[in-house]
């Protein structure tokens, strides 16, 4: 889907231009998750808001519709521990499976899972998955 590719590119460009270090990300058809650090969170959130506005405008034009496409619940959570960090990485990469878009992480193209698996290797990624299970992590966040 060209629309998804465009959004991913704009999102990645926005994180890069805001000097954000991105550790994990996943874009689904109706929401996305990103684990990142940034020197200026308010600036990053404002920049992402501009991306949301541009994309909404473009999508409305494609569909010849008017109105607002909403992006809800922008939140930030500080990672409290190494466990919290790795569980969040697992949660983000597992999101397409959770929502029924894929049966495996590698089947979903709009995610950092491919790069993560290449960087960590399957054995290490599996060890991290088992050591930091998602269990009920994120329940009701994006249902």
Kindly state the tokens that stand for 16.
Answer: 């890069």
| CATH code for position 113 | 3.30.70.1290
Taking only the tens place, the pLDDT of each residue in 34-86 is 999 999 988 998 898 888 777 766 665 665 566 555 555 566 778 899 999 99
The pTM (predicted TM-score) of the whole model is 0.84
Question: Residue 111 — very low, low, confident or very high, per pLDDT cuts 50/70/90?
Answer: very high
Tokens 């491919």 belong to residue:
114
8-state DSSP, 111: B
Partner residues linked to 32 by β-bridges: 27
Q: Which pLDDT score is estimated for 31?
A: 83
CA distance 43 to 129: 32
Share the mean pLDDT of the chain.
Answer: 86
Kindly state the tokens that stand for 136.
Answer: 């009920």
Question: Is 137 within a domain?
Answer: no
The number of domains in the chain is 1
128 phi and psi angles, rounded to 5 deg: -65, -40
Q: How many CB atoms lie within 10 A of CB 86?
A: 18
Question: Is 142 within a domain?
Answer: no
Question: Is 139 within a domain?
Answer: no
Question: Is 71 within a domain?
Answer: yes
CA distance 127 to 123: 6
Q: Which pLDDT score is estimated for 102?
A: 96
Q: When comparing pLDDT for 111 and 3, which is higher?
A: 111
Question: Is 67 within a domain?
Answer: yes
Domain extent at residue 119: 2-131
Q: Which pLDDT score is estimated for 57?
A: 61
Question: Is 107 within a domain?
Answer: yes
């Amino acid at each position: 889907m060209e629309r998804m590719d465009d959004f991913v590119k704009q999102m990645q460009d926005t994180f890069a231009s805001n000097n954000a270090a991105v550790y994990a990300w996943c874009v689904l058809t109706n929401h996305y998750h990103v684990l990142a650090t940034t020197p200026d969170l308010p600036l990053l959130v404002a920049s992402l808001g501009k991306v949301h506005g541009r994309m909404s405008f473009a999508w409305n034009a494609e569909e010849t519709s008017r109105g607002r496409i909403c992006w809800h619940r922008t939140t930030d959570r500080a990672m409290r521990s190494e466990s919290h960090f790795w569980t969040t990485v697992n949660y983000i990469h597992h999101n397409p499976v959770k929502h029924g878009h894929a049966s495996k992480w590698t089947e979903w193209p709009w995610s950092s899972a491919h790069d993560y698996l290449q960087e960590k290797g399957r054995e290490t990624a599996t060890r991290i998955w088992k050591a930091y299970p998602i269990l009920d992590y994120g329940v009701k966040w994006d249902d």
